[in-house]
């Protein structure tokens, strides 16, 4: 358990804009920062960060919170683990009770997998330096590839001993549970077949469960998530046996989904933001070699085909990407497929070809850092030039093959969501392929029309939900005249935003003379509602209102930060909603326009909120009376109800008058 004093230090140090900037590329907009939301796929930024308020809020998907919430939501961490992560980021020493083996055992599966993966990384790294086999084979291989010591340690490279059970046996002996070794993919579980007497059919030896290391006899490449925690591994064999797979990767687990992970992103995200583009390569060594050469804005899809999830990761930091895959047929096919997927997601795509026989790893060792950077920028070609060269290569100017190549290029252009970009690329295609622009536009429109119809007629692309998979939604509350949701929300909005602000109210002194006194907005609102025994129907609103009452009894008013950091996630989320706005006023004063801020007319806002809620509560009572009258109650009860209704109608008229409403009958 982390001490409260340390939690307070973390909250004070963790600036939300700094924490979010590690994951999202943010741009200044007025007093706020804006970027593409990391929690849902969007092309138009709707994700706001307010440094002044210490919060983030997405007006697209609705997620919001403070720095700790962000880490919890993004990296799927528990509250204590999010605190530990931020404590490490800001060099804050935290004091907590050391976990017992029993407590570790009761950690959830996800955390246990992260712990096991972290242990494995340290074990493999130690093998590299502390075992004869690791030093001679593993470290020898990395040195042979020209890697410096600091780069080996930066990427936490390692070596798995060439024995089928070496890692598993040590891990179990150290206290790690076999269950999590298997779930993490570090250990493979299999069964031996039972031995049976062929003549009698009698079982000589029962089947038993066996375990073996997945990565034995391989150099190890840990794969990190965006916060730097190890979630998986890639292992490269150094054996020359053609039956042995060159690379073995971790299987899909609860913490590792390869379609949503890019190798090297943790080490590269800051450089991607700084350089304003991402360099996408194929393999682990390409990323590592580029880092050693001084080019750090580089990631790899790690042997898997590029996915929409991986593109979404890149879009958090930049919209510009340069692809460099191998020049063999497999690399070309991967590049062509990746280009189309990137274009469809609205990315600006270029392709880089290294000189014959070179890849990012080999070429980076031949030139200086500056020459390498210059080569990347100056030789990256737009996707049209790349596709034209690839698709027309070896055609000997065959007109039919050229026409087919043009169609494929136009098919790629048709995927671009932005009409202006499409227009520019059509002009470029017209120039390169020497085809009339109008012909290309006509073909483009045909393709886009066909794509639109295909999507419209394909149920899977319309996000239809089958009845058996239909999500269970909260039952909708019937909207009647008695619904006071809006008015109650406005009361809580004023409490959250202006609770401690002072307003002047009319009162009387001991001699009965009219005077003005100053009271807090929180006191005025709670006093007015309690004096009429008004209870807020919404449970979250009522909880916040009650907390204000409790604090006022101690002559204190809780501030916004109290509710932003509230242990009740519903209260925290509501607070973010109530203090957030996607709109900021421009500097209108220079045009002689001076918009009125609510704090300058705060008393009027508070009075209106009180009158509106009381008016709605009266309407609720009138509505109930009218329902009862329709049931033809006894005459005596009916008279009482009608008298009460008349009194309520007069009260409603008075409140409406104070609100400036005109009731038309």
pLDDT band at 233 (very low <50, low <70, confident <90, very high): very high
Range 651-655, long-range pairs (CB < 8 A, 24+ positions): 651/618, 652/615, 652/618, 652/619, 652/622, 655/611, 655/612, 655/614, 655/615, 655/618
- What would the two tokens of residue 476 be? 């909708």
Q: Which of 160, 329, 328, 130 shows the shortest CA–CA distance to 234?
A: 160
Helices (H), 511-584: 521-531, 539-552, 560-564, 569-579
Provide the pLDDT for residue 95: 73
Q: What is the C-alpha separation between 246 and 236, in angstroms, rounded?
A: 6
Q: HSE, CB side, 13 Å, CA atoms: give it for residue 147.
A: 26
Report pLDDT digits (tens) over 423-462.
999 999 999 888 898 998 988 888 888 877 776 666 555 4
- What is the DSSP pairing of strand 320-323 with strand 278-281? parallel
Task: Provide the percentage of residues in the chain whose pLDDT is more than 90.
Answer: 30
Question: Are the C-beta atoms of residues 519 and 513 closer than 8 Å to each other?
Answer: no
pLDDT at residue 327 greater than cutoff 90: no
Strand partners, 506: 516
| HEC readout, 116-171 | HHHHHHHHHHHHHHHCHHHHHHHHHHHHHCCCCHHHHHHCCCEEECCCCCHHHHHH
Report pLDDT digits (tens) over 101-152.
555 444 567 888 999 999 999 999 999 999 999 999 999 999 999 999 999 9
Q: What is the C-alpha separation between 538 and 570, in angstroms, rounded?
A: 12
Question: Are the C-beta atoms of residues 354 and 324 closer than 8 Å to each other?
Answer: yes
Residue 355: Cβ within 10 Å count: 11
- What would the two tokens of residue 82 be? 């999010």
More confident residue, 343 or 455: 343
Global model pTM greater than 0.75:
no
Q: Which of 43, 649, 118 shows the shortest CA–CA distance to 344?
A: 43
Which domains are assigned to the chain?
4-89 (3.90.580.10), 108-193+208-256 (3.90.980.10), 268-458 (3.40.1360.10), 480-583+598-665 (no CATH)
H/E stretch holding 323 reads strand 320-323
Report pLDDT digits (tens) over 27-52.
888 888 999 998 888 778 889 998 87
Q: At a CB cut-off of 8 Å and minimum separation 6, what does 658 contact?
A: 607, 611
Question: Are the C-beta atoms of residues 448 and 74 closer than 8 Å to each other?
Answer: no
Strand partners, 209: 191
Q: What DSSP assignment string belongs to 502-517? A: EEEEEEE-TT--EEEE
More confident residue, 625 or 76: 625
Count, residues in the chain: 665
Give the residue carrying structure tokens 């009958």: 665
Q: Which of 620, 627, 618 shows the shortest CA–CA distance to 656?
A: 618
Residue 496: Cβ within 10 Å count: 24
Report pLDDT digits (tens) over 509-544.
777 777 888 889 999 999 889 888 888 888 889 889
pLDDT at residue 665 greater than cutoff 50: no
pLDDT band at 305 (very low <50, low <70, confident <90, very high): confident
Mean pLDDT (the chain) is: 83
Q: What is the C-alpha separation between 266 and 270, in angstroms, rounded?
A: 9
Q: Which of 355, 357, 364 shows the shortest CA–CA distance to 285?
A: 364
Question: Are the C-beta atoms of residues 383 and 412 closer than 8 Å to each other?
Answer: yes
Q: For residue 263, what is the DSSP state?
A: B
Q: What is the C-alpha separation between 158 and 141, in angstroms, rounded?
A: 11
- What would the two tokens of residue 631 be? 């049931």
Top mean pLDDT of 19-33, 211-225, 295-309, 386-400 is at: 211-225
Q: What is the C-alpha separation between 418 and 455, in angstroms, rounded?
A: 18
Helices (H), 350-484: 360-364, 369-379, 383-392, 399-414, 419-433, 437-457
Question: Are the C-beta atoms of residues 120 and 130 closer than 8 Å to each other?
Answer: no
H/E stretch holding 644 reads helix 635-659
Instruction: Give mean pLDDT, residues 325-342.
Output: 83
Q: At a CB cut-off of 8 Å and minimum separation 6, what does 450 contact?
A: none
């Amino acid at each position: 358990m982390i001490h409260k004093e340390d939690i307070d230090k973390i909250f004070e140090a963790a600036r939300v804009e700094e924490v979010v900037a590690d994951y999202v590329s943010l741009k200044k907009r007025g007093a706020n920062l804006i970027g593409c939301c990391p929690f849902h796929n969007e092309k138009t930024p709707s994700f706001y960060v307010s440094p002044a308020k210490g919060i983030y809020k997405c007006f697209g998907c609705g997620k919001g919170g403070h720095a700790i919430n962000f880490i919890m939501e993004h990296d799927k961490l528990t509250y204590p683990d999010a605190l530990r992560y931020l404590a490490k980021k800001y060099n804050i020493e935290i004091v907590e009770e050391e976990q017992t083996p029993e407590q570790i055992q009761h950690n959830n599966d996800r955390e246990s997998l992260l712990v096991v993966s972290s242990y494995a990384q340290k074990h493999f790294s130690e093998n590299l330096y502390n075992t004869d086999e690791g030093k001679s084979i593993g470290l020898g291989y990395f040195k042979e590839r020209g890697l410096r010591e600091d780069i080996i340690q930066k990427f936490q490279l390692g070596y798995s001993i060439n024995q089928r059970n070496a890692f598993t046996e040590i891990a179990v002996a150290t206290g790690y549970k076999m269950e999590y070794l298997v779930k993490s993919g570090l250990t493979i579980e299999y069964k031996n077949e039972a031995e049976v007497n062929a003549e009698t059919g009698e079982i000589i030896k029962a089947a038993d469960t066996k375990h073996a290391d997945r990565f034995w006899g391989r150099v190890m490449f840990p794969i990190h998530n965006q916060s730097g925690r190890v979630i998986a591994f890639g292992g490269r064999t150094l054996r020359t046996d053609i039956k042995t797979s060159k690379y073995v990767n971790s299987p899909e687990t609860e913490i590792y989904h390869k379609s949503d992970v890019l190798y090297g992103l943790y080490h590269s995200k800051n450089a991607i933001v700084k350089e304003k583009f991402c360099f996408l390569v194929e393999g682990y060594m390409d990323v590592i070699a580029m880092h050693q050469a001084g080019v750090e804005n580089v990631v790899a899809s790690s042997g898997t085909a590029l996915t929409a999830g991986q593109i979404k990761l890149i879009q958090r930091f930049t919209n510009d990407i340069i692809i460099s895959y191998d020049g063999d047929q497999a690399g070309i096919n991967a590049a062509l497929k990746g280009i189309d997927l990137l274009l469809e997601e609205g990315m600006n795509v270029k392709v880089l070809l290294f000189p014959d026989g070179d890849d990012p790893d080999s070429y980076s060792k031949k030139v200086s850092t500056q020459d390498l950077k210059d080569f990347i920028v100056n030789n990256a070609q737009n996707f049209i030039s790349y596709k034209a060269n690839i698709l027309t290569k070896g055609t000997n100017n065959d007109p039919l093959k050229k026409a087919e190549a043009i169609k494929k290029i136009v098919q790629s252009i048709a995927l671009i969501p932005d009409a202006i970009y499409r227009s520019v690329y059509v002009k470029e295609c017209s120039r390169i392929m020497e085809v009339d622009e109008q012909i290309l536009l006509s073909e483009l429109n045909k393709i886009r029309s066909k794509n639109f119809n295909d999507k419209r007629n394909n149920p899977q692309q319309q996000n239809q939900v089958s009845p058996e998979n239909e999500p269970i939604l909260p039952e909708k509350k019937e909207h009647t005249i008695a619904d006071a949701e809006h008015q109650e929300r406005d009361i809580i909005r004023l409490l959250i935003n202006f609770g401690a602000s002072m307003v002047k109210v009319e009162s009387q002194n001991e001699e009965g003379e009219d005077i003005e006194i100053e009271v807090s907005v929180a006191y005025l609102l709670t006093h007015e509602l309690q004096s009429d025994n008004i209870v807020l129907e919404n449970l979250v609103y009522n909880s916040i209102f009650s907390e204000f009452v409790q604090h006022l009894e101690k002559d204190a008013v809780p501030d916004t930060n109290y509710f932003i950091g509230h242990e009740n996630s519903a209260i925290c989320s509501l607070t973010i909603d109530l203090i957030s706005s996607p709109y900021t006023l421009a500097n209108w004063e220079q045009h002689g326009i001076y918009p009125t801020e609510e704090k300058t007319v705060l008393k009027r806002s508070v009075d209106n909120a009180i009158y509106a809620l009381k008016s709605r509560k009266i309407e609720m009572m009138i509505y109930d009376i009218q329902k009862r009258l329709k049931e033809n109650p006894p005459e005596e009860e009916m008279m009482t109800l009608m008298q009460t209704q008349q009194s309520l109608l007069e009260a409603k008229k008075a409140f409406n008058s104070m609100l400036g409403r005109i009731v038309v009958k």
